[in-house]
Amino acid sequence: MSNEPKKPSYEELEDKVDQLEKKLALVETIGAECFSNGLFLQTLLDTIPSPIFYKDKDGIYQNCNDAFSKMILGIPKEKIINKSLFDLPDLIPHELAKVYYEKDRHLFDNPGTQIYQGAVKCSDEEIRVFSFYKATVEDDESNVVGLVGVMLDVTELENKKTELSESNSQLESFSFTD
């Protein structure tokens, strides 16, 4: 009696080929749907006028929208993806990169959301005030795998608040002199 495995029959092989062809067709369909969904999501992100970015757990940019690449850094997305804050020294001064890095580290160490304001030198050389809204991204096992951030330009609002405060101060000084 030989210990060689039994060779499948021609019919069994045909069945296996048929099963594999069905699986391949399913994989191709799912792949096409994923590609289509990916295009939809990227188009959606690029349509949003506020800068949006996604970084992995190591602080490496994995994606961003057109507003982030054009308004904030002024370079194509392809030159941002797979880079960290420190890999873009001509666009993000080292001192600012350290501040943003520390904010990210704090969020990774304390998963959830983070909101703060900061001045940002944009690609047009203007300094604008942005509210940063960040949240950690978790996998199926609740492990933090990255963070997503949305930046809202609040420069005009902050300027109006300053004007209003100055006007109120002026009115108060008038009330004392009358």
Q: Please list, in sequence order, all residues whose beta carbon lies within 8 angstroms of the beta carbon of residue 148, skipping any fewer than 6 positions away.
A: 52, 53, 54, 134, 135, 137
Counting residues of the chain whose pLDDT is more than 90, the rounded percentage is 52
End-to-end CA distance of the chain: 117
CA gap 19, 104 in Å, rounded? 47
Q: Which of 128, 121, 118 is nearest to 91 (CA)?
A: 121
Q: 50-163: what CATH class?
A: alpha beta
Size (the chain), residues: 178
Q: Provide the pLDDT confidence category of residue 68 given band limits of 50, 70 and 90.
A: very high
- List alpha helices for 48-140, DSSP H: 66-67, 94-109
Tens digit of each residue's pLDDT (9 = 90 or more) over 19-43: 988 888 888 888 888 887 788 888 8
Burial class (CB in 10 A: 0-12, 13-18, 19+), 118: middle
Tens digit of each residue's pLDDT (9 = 90 or more) over 114-168: 999 988 889 999 989 999 999 999 999 999 999 999 999 999 988 788 788 787 7
CA distances from 60 to 33, 85, 86, 91 (A): 27, 8, 10, 15
Q: What is the pTM of this model?
A: 0.75
